[in-house]
Structure 1
Amino acid sequence: MTAKFTGRGALLAAVSMVMAAPGLARTDYVANIDIVRTGADPAAETLTGHVFHDLSLDGARQADEQGVAGVIVSNGRDVTTTDADGAYTLPVYENMTVMVHEPAAYDVPVNKDGVPQFFYHHLPEGTPETLRYGGLAPTGPLPAAINFPMIRTGVDDEFSCVMMGDTQPYSNTEIGYVRDGVLDSILDQDLSAAECVIMLGDVMGDDLSLLPRFMDLWSVIDLPQYYVHGNHDFDFDATTDEHSADSWREMYGPAYYSFDIGGATFIALDNVVYPCGPEDNGPGGRDACADPERVVYNGRVVERQMQWLEATLAEIPEDRLIVMLHHIPFVSFIDSNTGRHQTDNLAEIHALLAGRPAVSFSGHTHTMEYLAAGEWFQGWEEQVGVTRLPFDHVVGGAPSGNWYWGDLNFDGTPLAFARGGTPPGYMIVDFDGSDFEVNFFAANLAPERQIALSFNTPQFRTWFDELFAWADEREDPAAETPPLTVNDLADLRLFTPQDLESTVWLTANVWIGDRNTQVSASINGGPDLPMTRTQAGNGEDVRSGAEWADPFAAVRQMTIGRFGWQSTQGEDRAQGFEVWQGSSYGPATPQPAETWMIADSSTHLWRLEMPADLPVGAHIVEVTAVMADGREFTDRMTFEVRAERPFPYWDNTLWEDQTN
């Protein structure tokens, strides 16, 4: 199989920056913000401070360091801008985070891991309950002033950001998978144009004690690390949403914030409400929020944050691109009928963004979904009150794939094809003013590999249905042997005339494909034959099952040999494999993944019914995907038509009467 790819172009050239100090890269400016405690008034109802040009690069404001005017500063609710001297004043309230909005022409300092330092938490007594991962430590009385340092760097509208959905390691072993998968692959990229790395939530897998190692590991990328708070990043033992992100705030920083780069304004939201309550009650699983016996989360942006969002947008020029970053999707294809996994008040957010150039990036679903403007699916109107999208919404895949299931691949990381059929991977988003281009890359595959080709045959559909039904009903995998494995599946690239009469579809999973992507196939160099997207995105429901599955991914998901790994001298927990919160799978005979993980539906799968009159012999099919912006991906595959299926195993009939 071969592939070729064109795209990204000029953005791979180096970005020149006018720095405050020659040769200073963004992660070289390491400093803290300037906290002035002398003269503090514990009863003060307002907070004052300055945003200043840190010429000394030490984070502390010197007498000769001038203020920076017109910079947005907020307390997480109220928003103001600095005056001509760089001064600001904000109201004080309990449990606020004071933060500065980094302007496009400036850089704020970072800590040793590259985490931007632009905030100060105010919670004098600390988290009011004991939390497993510590909560927010007492901050003491309100300081006399909070001064935010930054350095002038100039503006370049052309830049890129590395983005990804759920890394979600539940263990140190899985942090190793992140290191050896996406991180190692990203380091092979040309990052000369890159300005940031953005994690779209579920950075952790419920264990926040892993976060310091994770941040240190990602410091090798030499880019500022912007993290979004997800539903596996909160304190599960918190009793109120007010404090469910406190350990995150202590270890990383704010749960929501904003900043500028080039011609784009990035707004990171925390749209995970945990624990949710009766106010979240509704369809699509949100009734669990009103059940006092259950403790669950819901996708919603709370009132205080909405007030902050509206006030922040009021300060942003309307021609700037607004890049919304959040964990739970605003809307999703895979969860289109599930309200709890989408954002309740999306219609209100869309109204705030009306008329602006905008794009949404999220994670959560472990799917790659490029939902282009104008698209909609059944369930959205009932669940979140919207239909056709006013701008592009991108659900950004997952470095963890389907939660690190799957056998180990060449680099020793799990071959964990995600729901929808994308491999573990990451995005590089290129920006140019208010324009952007989203690129998806599979971890440790050649960057030009963008399509997975296969055939959906009658044998595949029969095999899939029987094995899927068995896996859906199984109770104890260790006690049961599957009726079929991948060894029982007939060669998908070889079929007979009878198979063609019963329908064989060529399938092309174009990982970054959307409703505007044109996909065609050429058989043996013949004319281009248009392929059809399995989901049109015109209000229909999710189409799932054998007929709509991606055979390339599903075959790899439905026989996992790692179930059977065991040893006589190893540790008990080393048998089979562990995922999630230490859940054990195996030792058992090879098994399919959980059925809800299987790639039996997708927004980026195209298919073509193969001609029934194909002659017997070997053939080549080449598939071309053309994106709306002109990027072009191609891949090809060899297949066979035979009068009858050949015997698949070693033929010993001529050897039976011979002895050794």
Structure 2
Amino acid sequence: MNKFTLLLLSTFLLGTATAQNVAKGIVYEDLNGNFKKDKKEKGIANVAVSNGTDVVLTNAKGEYQLPVGDDNIFFVIKPTGYKVALDENNLPKSYYLHKPKGAPELKYKGAAPTGALPASLDFALTASPEADNFKALIFGDPQPYTLDEIKHFEKGVVQEVAGIKEVAFGLSLGDLVGDNLDLHQAYKETIRKVGLPWYNLTGNHDMNYDVTQDEHANEAFQSHLGPVNYSFNYGKVHFIVLDDILYPDPRDGKGYWGGFRKDQLDFVENDLKFVPKENLVVLAFHIPLELEGESFRLEDRQRLFSILKDYPNTLALSAHTHFQQQNFFGAKEGWQGAKPFYEFNVGTTSGDWYSGEKNDQGVPASTMRDGTPKGYVFLNFNGNQYTIDYKVVGKPSDYQIDIYAPNVIPSDRGTAAKVYANFFMGSEKDVVEYRLDNGDWKPMTYTREADPRYVAALYRWDASEKLMPGRRPSNPVKSTHLWSVAFPNTKVEGTHTIEVRAKDMFGRTFTQTKTFRVEKP
């Protein structure tokens, strides 16, 4: 074999190896909506595409190339001003699952072998004007363990928002189901009834538990719902969705731990290279980043903070806890930004796991352990700014405070009871005040206690002489948004009004009233 023939053979082999290790394709504008690239349909330049770790921009012709392994999910990062195709359940079809050998053999099946990559792995986008002002709907932990609880989720939450208008999309923050991964299909069919494009992230109850590597913990999730790490744009907001559950726990191989693998944080870093610094970056994951305790691997949080340090506008969303709290991270926690890093740990649509007494529809009250009623969230975006509204299921939108106080007191001796105000979106930073019968406003005291209304409802189960239907609520936790004051005793017989007002972190004021009676013994 001469040198020239050897050179040709080497070149051929190198080209073959390169072709096998690179995914190629085009991101194009789908003018006729058939999700196939027709001759007249042109590629779109400067669109980000990822293999789950690397991120590249398409060239002037809409072309891209990405490294490929034997287990990748390729996806287009939806740019502002475009929409992606949706499947029959309104879930984005903006990804391609590449598992040539298929998923490992598991109790809950993952993807079947996908074979070789297409010669051109193309992604369709459709031009769609987007306002900088928009609204998103957020669900925390639907978490049904049975088909009956799927019905509770549908009747108790989904029916209230079905057909909602002027909302861009929805997002569920993990624990879409409760360990039975076959329920992912029922979950999808239920969420479809909201009528919005819907994004999802994985939770610790969405995982394949019979795995030995974290990389395989979401095989069933991926086959039903797509990638667990991805991003997209809407208006001037960049959303990053992440799996933050390490399973099995790398410390002892048992259970799970909050955190990220290196490749996930590499994805975040690579992704943000193409995001303008002035845009708002919203991160969504399941387990909160943790202010205290050992539920999250701190070196992962620190690297995330380092990646985000040059982005002044950020918001983090988490769920998992089945109570609601506002977390603020500063220099003490390793955050380097000029203002605290804010994480909203969102209350859940399943509340306290479908527990408590049932209403006329047969749906459990499911009040959370900190006294927050079950509900959902609206994120209201205005450019790179936002406000948050928590909506209690079955209540008016302005129901933001629960007042707990006696309903009647004697006129001759008053009461040693207190007035409690549970401001569902509150934190220790907020000011909460009260007044009696339109008198002067006076401050209430922030307190870390169990919510008394929740405790009273819980003790009904323990004190009952008969077995109550349904499930006893969980034991209470100390609320992070509770205020109290000594009951304003008055000897004037008749009906009186206590009014409570609270100002939230966005400068908005909410009020709530409660009446009580003073009676002669």
Which residue identity is paired with 2:322? H
The alignment partner of 2:135 has SS state of strand
Q: Report deviation, 1:610.
A: 2.9
Q: Match for residue 653 of structure 1?
A: none
Pick from 322, 334, 350 the counterpart of residue 305 of structure 2. 350
What aligned pairs does 1:155-234 form with structure 2 within 5 A after superposition? 155-187=130-162, 191-234=164-207
Distance 1:74 1:220, change over 3 A: same
Q: Report deviation, 1:164.
A: 1.6
> Quick check: 1:562–1:576 contact (8 Å CA) kept in 2?
no
Q: Report deviation, 1:273.
A: 1.0
Q: Match for residue 93 of structure 1?
A: 69
Distance 1:397 1:611, change over 3 A: same
Pick from 339, 349, 364 the counterpart of residue 414 of structure 1. 364
1:453 aligns with 2:403: yes
Distance 1:430 1:446, change over 3 A: same
- C-alpha separation in 1, matches of 2:175 and 2:169: 18
Q: Report deviation, 1:155.
A: 2.7
What RMSD over aligned residues (CA atoms) do the two structures have, in Å? Answer: 2.6
Q: Match for residue 3 of structure 2?
A: none
Structure 1, residues 25-81: CA drift from partner, whole Å, max 9, x if none?
xxxxxxxxxxxxxxx989611111010000020111111111011011111111110
> Quick check: 2:78–2:233 contact (8 Å CA) kept in 1?
yes
- C-alpha separation in 1, matches of 2:108 and 2:357: 32
Pick from 517, 542, 553 the counterpart of residue 430 of structure 2. 517
Q: Match for residue 288 of structure 2?
A: 329
Q: Report deviation, 1:253.
A: 0.5
> Quick check: 1:329–1:342 contact (8 Å CA) kept in 2?
no
Q: Report deviation, 1:211.
A: 1.3
Structure 1, residues 540-573: CA drift from partner, whole Å, max 9, x if none?
xxx4xxxx2211222123323899887xxxxxxx
> Quick check: 1:202–1:231 contact (8 Å CA) kept in 2?
yes
Q: Match for residue 303 of structure 1?
A: 262
Q: Match for residue 104 of structure 1?
A: 80
The alignment partner of 2:249 has SS state of coil
Structure 2: any 5+ residue segments left out of the alignment? 1-15
- C-alpha separation in 1, matches of 2:50 and 2:423: 42
Which residue identity is paired with 1:154? P
Q: Report deviation, 1:512.
A: 1.6
> Quick check: 2:46–2:60 contact (8 Å CA) kept in 1?
yes
> Quick check: 1:420–1:602 contact (8 Å CA) kept in 2?
yes
What aligned pairs does 1:335-374 form with structure 2 within 5 A after superposition? 336-337=292-293, 339-340=294-295, 345-356=300-311, 357-372=313-328
Q: Report deviation, 1:623.
A: 1.0
What aligned pairs does 1:16-415 form with structure 2 within 5 A after superposition? 44-128=20-104, 130-187=105-162, 191-278=164-251, 290=252, 295-331=254-290, 336-337=292-293, 339-340=294-295, 345-356=300-311, 357-372=313-328, 390-415=340-365
Structure 1, residues 180-201: CA drift from partner, whole Å, max 9, x if none?
111122238xx43211110000
Structure 1, residues 75-121: CA drift from partner, whole Å, max 9, x if none?
11111100000000111112111111000110010101100011112
Structure 1, residues 125-170: CA drift from partner, whole Å, max 9, x if none?
1113x21111222111122121000001123101100002111000
Pick from 384, 390, 393 the counterpart of residue 440 of structure 1. 390
Q: Report deviation, 1:621.
A: 0.6
Distance 1:230 1:493, change over 3 A: farther
- C-alpha separation in 2, matches of 1:418 and 1:343: 27
> Quick check: 1:407–1:561 contact (8 Å CA) kept in 2?
no
Structure 1, residues 586-635: CA drift from partner, whole Å, max 9, x if none?
xxxxxx5332xx1x411211222234666565421111122243433221
Q: Report deviation, 1:422.
A: 0.7
The alignment partner of 1:198 has SS state of strand
Q: TM-score with structure 1 length normalisation?
A: 0.72
Which residue identity is paired with 2:92? P
> Quick check: 2:259–2:296 contact (8 Å CA) kept in 1?
no
- C-alpha separation in 1, matches of 2:385 and 2:189: 32
- C-alpha separation in 2, matches of 1:241 and 1:557: 38
Q: Report deviation, 1:498.
A: 5.8
1:555 aligns with 2:456: yes
Q: Report deviation, 1:123.
A: 1.3
Distance 1:192 1:346, change over 3 A: same
> Quick check: 2:496–2:517 contact (8 Å CA) kept in 1?
yes
- C-alpha separation in 2, matches of 1:562 and 1:241: 45
- C-alpha separation in 2, matches of 1:131 and 1:174: 25
> Quick check: 2:369–2:474 contact (8 Å CA) kept in 1?
no
Q: Report deviation, 1:238.
A: 1.9
Structure 1: any 5+ residue segments left out of the alignment? 1-39, 279-289, 456-490, 535-542, 567-574, 578-584, 586-591, 645-660
Which residue identity is paired with 2:245? V
Q: Report deviation, 1:319.
A: 0.5
Q: Match for residue 30 of structure 1?
A: none
Which residue identity is paired with 1:452? D
> Quick check: 2:269–2:307 contact (8 Å CA) kept in 1?
yes
> Quick check: 1:328–1:342 contact (8 Å CA) kept in 2?
no
Distance 1:43 1:390, change over 3 A: same
